Chains A and B, each alone.
Chain A
Amino acid sequence: MSAKPTIAYLLLPLALGLIVPTARAEAPSDFLARFDQVARAADAGFRGFSAQRGERFFKSRHGADWSCASCHSDNPVAPGRHAVTGKAIGPLAPAANAERFSSARQVEKWFKRNCNDVLERACTAQEKGDVLAYLLTLRK
C-alpha cells in the first residue's frame, strides 16, 4: 500500500540530480570529466589527456585553411581576432576569461562549428580534452 510513495521518495533525489547539473554554471573540470568519460568509452587504450598534444593540435592546420590559433591566437590568454572578419574574440583560456567553459550549450555549439571549419569533421572527445588540458596549463 505504501509502495508508491516510497518509490516516489527514492526517485526524487534522482530527478533533482538530473536537473541540478544542467541548471548551474559549469566549470572547466566538469567538461574535462565528461570528455574523459566519452574518450574512455570510445577507446579502451585511452591513457588520459595531454596538454602537449593539445597545444600541437591547436596550433596546426588540419588540411583546411585555418588552425584554432588562426582566430584564437597562438597565445590563448590574449584576445583573438576572427580570421575573416577581424572581429575581436575574447581570450579562450579560462585563466584569462572566466566565461569560458562555463556553459555546455556554448562549448558544444562552438566545438561543432569550429572543428567543422578547421578539420571538416567533428573533434573527438580526446581532441577536445587535449585542447582543454592545454588551455588549463596557461596562466595570465
Chain B
Amino acid sequence: MKRNTLTLGLGLLAWLALGAAWADGGRFDLGGPVYRDECGACHVAYPPQLLPAASWRELMRTLDRHFGADAGLEPQQAAAILDGLVAQARRRPEAAPRGGPVLRITQTAWFRHEHDEVPARLWKGPAVKGAAHCAACHRRAEAGDYGERTLRLPR
C-alpha cells in the first residue's frame, strides 16, 4: 500500500517535471508592456521570434493599412516597438513570396511545417476562424506560452 503511494508520488513528480520541460520548449519572451498592449489589442501579441527583421520592418511601416484594419501608431512609438521586435527577430531569413518579405507568421514555412498535422477543417471552422488566431488552440498564447501543456484543439 505504502509502496504504491510512493510509486504514484514519484510518477507524479516525473510527470510534472516532464510537463514543465515541454512547456518550456514552446515559451516565448514577448518583450515589454508597450508591445503587449499596442500589438495585443486586436489579437494576441505574436512572438517576435517567429518572423525575421525584414518582415517586422515592413509590418511596422504599413500599420495604417494592416490586414484590412487601421492599426496606425505615433511614429516614435512605432519606432520603439520595432527596435524591440528586431532585437528578438528570427535570424534565419524567410523565402519571400513575390519579392516583398512575408507578413504573416502563418505563411512561413516554419509555421506550415509545425502545424502540418492540424486538420484543414479546424483552420476554417467557427471555433478557430483562421490560423492567425493562435489562442483558439494555444490557450495561453496571450502570455507567449505555446507549449504542449496549454495546447487544446477545439472540436
B68 in contact with A113 (CB, 8 Å): no
Which one, A4-12, A41-49, A82-90, is touching chain B?
A82-90
Nearest neighbor of A116 in chain B, beta-carbon distance: B70
Kindly supply a per-residue 1/0 record for chain B positions 109-144, scoring 1 wherever the CB is within 8 Å of any chain A CB and 0 otherwise.
000000000000000000001101101100000000
User: In whole angstroms, what is the CA distance A114 to B71 when docked?
Assistant: 9
A86 in contact with B71 (CB, 8 Å): no
A86 in contact with B136 (CB, 8 Å): yes
B68 in contact with A84 (CB, 8 Å): yes
For A26, list chain B residues within 8 Å (CB): none
A84 in contact with B136 (CB, 8 Å): no
Looking at chain A, what size class is its interface with the partner chain? 10 to 19
CB distance from A34 to the nearest CB of B (A): 20
CB distance from A47 to the nearest CB of B (A): 31
B43 in contact with A85 (CB, 8 Å): yes
CB distance from A83 to the nearest CB of B (A): 9
For the complex, would chain B's binding face be called helix, strand, loop or mixed by DSSP majority? loop
CB distance from A113 to the nearest CB of B (A): 4
Which of B69, B129, B136 makes the CB contact (< 8 A) with A113? B69
B-contacting residues, A79-98, CB 8 Å: 82, 84-87
B133 in contact with A113 (CB, 8 Å): no
Which of A87, A114, A116, A117 makes the CB contact (< 8 A) with B43? A87
| B72: Cβ under 8 A from any A Cβ | yes
| A56: Cβ under 8 A from any B Cβ | no
Pairs across A and B, CB under 8 Å, 15 listed: A82-B42, A82-B43, A84-B42, A84-B68, A86-B129, A86-B136, A87-B43, A109-B73, A112-B70, A113-B69, A113-B70, A113-B72, A114-B70, A116-B64, A117-B70
